[in-house]
Amino acid sequence: MTKRRLPGIFYNPLSVGGAALASVSLLTIVFLTLVEVLQAHSPAYIGIVSYVILPVPLVIGLLLIPLGALRERRRLRRGQPASKLSFTVDLAVPHQRNVLTAFSSITAILLLFTAYGSYRTFEWTESVEFCGTTCHSVMEPEHTAYQNSPHARVKCVDCHVGPGAGWYVRSKLSGAYQVYAVLANVYPRPIPTPIKNLRPAQETCEQCHWPSHFAAEKKYVNTYFKSDSANTRWTVALLMKIGGGNEDRGPAGGIHWHMNIANEVTYVATDDQRQTIPVVRIKSRSTGVTTEFVAGDALEGADTLRARPWASMDCIDCHNRPSHIYRPPARIVDQSLARSRVSTALPHIREKAMEVLKLDYTTREAATDSIAGLLREFYEREYPQLLESQPALLPAAIQELQAQYGRNFFPRMKVRWSVYPNNIGHMTDLGCFRCHDGNHRSADGRVISKDCNSCHTLLYQGTAPVPQTLSVAGLPFEHPEDVGDAWNEAPCVECHSGQ
Ligand code: HEC
Ligand code: HEC
Ligand code: HEC
Ligand code: HEC
Ligand code: HEC
Ligand code: HEC
């Protein structure tokens, strides 16, 4: 008999089984960690398996060892014979030899499959299907909006798990908590932002978009429709002064250059969503000169505000919805009308469509029924002849609006455009106007500009889809609806946020 290094009570089937389980788990974890270290682009969620799932059998195995030993001690105390662990194999006996060969081959094959299977599991956990559909109802809004966004082919983890060890550990920890939150059904609806541990950052975006290759300018032609009976078309063409760091492509100015390369912008926000920003500082990277801007109504309490934590402006302060874009009703309906998926021949359709999309439904089925019901009721009552002469118009409109509802509204997770502010513009949310409201001043009288032609040049506007007047310098803005000067005195959100 071989020499035993441990007290006899450890040599019982339960302890030995536990030790085997623990060793296999540990070996797999070591194998996975090696894969992770050696592979340059290792799957980001590999760790959910190696650090969240595999430790479970490891710990169970480790617990079984003393448990077996305790049982064994009790057996011995009761005077029962010690457990038998030894057995002999006689290779000279053909039957025993065959059994042993079969047994070792199967074990070896199983081990190989397990290793390969685990590896495939990581690859899968890194995929968009895993992030977007495993917890289907939870991630449904993000996954659906993502598929209809410019980033539909960018993996979730490319934005949400950045490069470097710090990110790695953070994503691991919050990933483990999220698995728990979903299983225990304690996750919030809607998921609150800003998200803390998986917040995309400059480093993640800059893997693909580095400042020197931004386009200098980009033309946006926005088509709107008025809420009148004719659904009058209105076009606004803007040349967005994106800017970048690439002087070969044009002037290195504009939105990005100002924010990220030449200057550092820091600010104090008084709410979690960073919608109220009373104090802003800008520091020139070349001269080191600092300028501070304070909102008019915050001058008195400015010192207490300065003592709060400062945030450094990065991509997400403007691009917080690059991929999960929940469109507001006005934008949805205008786009459907512009693409002729909803016909402008239906009187008042712009106004009515917005109305039915906006209602607060508790399920998608209720919304689908109600969108069809309410619209049909309105047109049957007001325009029965039209339904008879052009019977295809209304069903087509209903179908389009139901589909759009499905892409932009998620009653189960309580997600709709108004839940998450979109910081990129200034129509339905404050966005740029959080600072660019013409009311943030420096001590020497400089103002963060609200000039309508400072961020974009207004090329043309009006009811004609083809430009009548084209301006390179930028036209003065003409508000499509006569509201006097109110459009410029109040921020646009004041009247447009509910759309
Ligand atoms: C282009 C980068 C990008 C991609 C790709 C991306 N996200 Fe996001 N995601 C963001 C940003 C930016 C936020 C907002 C962060 C904040 O405000 O703190 C966000 C927020 C979220 C949130 C918080 C709730 C919300 O709607 O804001 C969830 C959940 C989420 N993403 C899941 C996913 C899933 C699942 C995928 C893949 C199907 C994915 N993301 C792909 C950039 C991305
Ligand atoms: C893995 C690569 C990748 C990453 C990471 C990535 N993007 Fe993109 N992004 C793309 C691609 C590809 C496009 C589509 C290019 C196009 O349409 O010209 C795009 C388009 C965009 C656009 C233009 C959208 C439009 O309407 O045309 C913006 C803005 C943008 N990304 C911002 C971001 C931000 C902010 C982040 C970080 C949260 C980010 N991206 C992360 C690859 C990436
Ligand atoms: C001050 C706000 C702001 C900041 C900060 C900012 N951007 Fe932008 N970015 C914009 C605006 C505004 C546009 C044009 C409008 C749009 O794309 O919706 C834009 C456009 C883009 C585009 C599309 C450009 C093209 O060539 O089509 C990309 C890509 C982009 N930004 C990436 C980034 C990245 C990456 C960062 C961080 C390094 C960043 N942005 C920081 C405001 C900002
Ligand atoms: C956190 C506050 C803050 C936010 C939010 C912000 N900016 Fe700015 N921005 C500034 C400051 C400060 C300046 C510098 C003003 C100065 O130097 O007079 C500036 C300057 C600019 C300039 C240069 C203006 C000029 O006079 O040439 C552009 C363009 C610009 N911002 C675009 C944007 C856009 C577009 C957005 C929204 C997507 C935005 N900013 C959001 C703080 C902000
Ligand atoms: C600080 C920069 C900035 C200033 C100042 C600014 N805008 Fe804009 N504006 C933007 C950006 C950025 C967008 C694009 C948002 C997007 O990508 O959808 C935009 C979009 C728009 C749109 C299209 C809105 C939509 O969502 O359909 C209109 C109209 C507009 N601006 C008018 C104005 C008027 C009028 C003024 C003057 C009161 C003004 N802007 C001042 C940055 C600015
Ligand atoms: C005092 C309220 C008020 C303010 C402030 C305001 N608007 Fe409007 N706006 C209206 C009304 C009312 C309409 C007509 C709504 C309709 O036809 O459904 C309208 C219509 C529009 C339209 C036509 C498309 C649409 O959605 O109806 C555009 C574009 C627009 N406004 C841009 C702006 C911009 C940009 C700003 C900020 C610079 C702004 N508005 C500020 C009240 C306002």
**What pLDDT, in 10s, does the model give residues 10-19?**
888 888 899 8
For residue range 296-319, what is the model confidence (pLDDT) as tens digits?
988 888 899 999 999 988 888 999
* C-beta atoms surrounding 104 within 10 Å: 10
| pLDDT of 1 higher than 90 | no
Query: Could you tell me how many residues make up the chain?
Result: 499
Mean pLDDT computed over 459-464: 89
Q: What is the pLDDT of residue 401?
A: 98
Mean pLDDT computed over 48-54: 69
Instruction: Considering every ligand atom shown, identify the ligand nearest to the alpha carbon of residue 438 and give its number.
Output: 5
Residue 271's contacts (CB-CB under 8 Å, 6 or more residues apart) are none
From atom 33 of ligand 6, which residue's Cα is the shortest distance away?
492
* C-beta atoms surrounding 36 within 10 Å: 16
From atom 43 of ligand 5, which residue's Cα is the shortest distance away?
455
| pLDDT of 45 higher than 60 | no
| Cis before 194? omega within 30 | yes
Asked whether the beta carbons of 20 and 26 are under 8 A apart, the reply is no
Instruction: Considering every ligand atom shown, identify the ligand nearest to the alpha carbon of residue 212 and give its number.
Output: 3
Share of the chain above pLDDT 70, in %: 80
From atom 18 of ligand 2, which residue's Cα is the shortest distance away?
150
Give the Å distances, CA to CA, from 311 to 20, 38, 260.
Answer: 51, 36, 14
| pLDDT of 242 higher than 90 | no
Which tokens sit at 346? 């239906």
Which of 177, 194, 199 shows the shortest CA–CA distance to 186? 177
Q: What is the pLDDT of residue 389?
A: 96
| Distance, CA of 241 to CA of 453 (rounded, Å) | 9
| Distance, CA of 28 to CA of 24 (rounded, Å) | 6
Asked whether the beta carbons of 313 and 330 are under 8 A apart, the reply is no
> Which class for 305: exposed (0-12), middle (13-18), buried (19 or more C-beta within 10 A)?
middle
For residue range 123-175, what is the model confidence (pLDDT) as tens digits?
666 677 767 766 667 788 888 888 889 999 888 878 887 665 566 556 656 66
Asked whether the beta carbons of 255 and 241 are under 8 A apart, the reply is yes
* C-alpha torsion sign, points 136, 142, 146, 148: positive
Instruction: Considering every ligand atom shown, identify the ligand nearest to the alpha carbon of residue 129 and give its number.
Output: 1
Ligand 4 pocket, residue 257 CB under 6 Å? no
Mean pLDDT lowest for which of 105-109, 245-249, 487-491?
Answer: 245-249
Q: What is the pLDDT of residue 86?
A: 63
The segment with the largest mean pLDDT, out of 93-97, 246-250, 337-341, is 337-341
d(CA 476, ligand 2 centre) in Å:
31
d(CA 426, ligand 5 centre) in Å:
6
Model confidence band, residue 260 (pLDDT cutoffs 50, 70, 90): low
Phi-psi region for residue 431, left (φ > 0), alpha (ψ -120 to 50) or beta? Answer: left
| Distance, CA of 353 to CA of 332 (rounded, Å) | 9
Ligand 5 pocket, residue 436 CB under 6 Å? yes
Which tokens sit at 416? 């709709």
| Distance, CA of 355 to CA of 303 (rounded, Å) | 45
Ligand 5 pocket, residue 453 CB under 6 Å? no
Give the Å distances, CA to CA, from 160 to 35, 239, 354, 377.
Answer: 22, 31, 33, 45
Ligand 5 pocket, residue 321 CB under 6 Å? no
Ligand 3 mutation pick, 256, 321, 429, 455, max ligand atoms within 8 A of CB: 256
Diameter of the chain measured on Cα atoms: 105
User: Cα(first)–Cα(last) distance of the chain, in Å?
Assistant: 83
Residue 396's contacts (CB-CB under 8 Å, 6 or more residues apart) are 341, 342, 343
From atom 5 of ligand 2, which residue's Cα is the shortest distance away?
205
| Distance, CA of 26 to CA of 20 (rounded, Å) | 10
Ligand 1 pocket, residue 159 CB under 6 Å? yes
Residue in the structure block whose two tokens are 């194999």: 89
Q: What is the pLDDT of residue 337?
A: 97
For residue range 340-354, what is the model confidence (pLDDT) as tens digits?
999 999 999 999 999
d(CA 411, ligand 2 centre) in Å:
28
Which tokens sit at 67? 């448990």
Q: What is the pLDDT of residue 202?
A: 77
| Distance, CA of 334 to CA of 353 (rounded, Å) | 10
Ligand 1 pocket, residue 361 CB under 6 Å? no
From atom 16 of ligand 2, which residue's Cα is the shortest distance away?
150
Ligand 2 pocket, residue 209 CB under 6 Å? yes
Mean pLDDT computed over 472-479: 89
Which of 258, 266, 321 shows the shortest CA–CA distance to 293? 266
User: Between 458 and 43, whose confidence is greater?
Assistant: 458
* C-beta atoms surrounding 313 within 10 Å: 21
Ligand 3 pocket, residue 325 CB under 6 Å? no
d(CA 436, ligand 4 centre) in Å:
6
Mean pLDDT computed over 239-249: 74
| Distance, CA of 82 to CA of 72 (rounded, Å) | 7
Ligand 4 pocket, residue 277 CB under 6 Å? yes
Ligand 6 mutation pick, 357, 430, 479, max ligand atoms within 8 A of CB: 479
Q: What is the pLDDT of residue 198?
A: 66
From atom 21 of ligand 3, which residue's Cα is the shortest distance away?
242
From atom 13 of ligand 1, which residue's Cα is the shortest distance away?
320
Model confidence band, residue 258 (pLDDT cutoffs 50, 70, 90): low
Ligand 5 mutation pick, 219, 222, 427, max ligand atoms within 8 A of CB: 427
| Distance, CA of 254 to CA of 106 (rounded, Å) | 66
Q: Which residues of 437-475 are buried (b: 16+ CB within 10 A; e: fewer)?
A: bebbbbeeeeebebeebebbbbbbbbeeeeeeeebeebb
For residue range 200-221, what is the model confidence (pLDDT) as tens digits?
777 788 888 876 777 678 899 9
| Distance, CA of 336 to CA of 400 (rounded, Å) | 8
d(CA 235, ligand 3 centre) in Å:
23
Q: Which amino acid is at 371?
A: I
d(CA 255, ligand 4 centre) in Å:
7
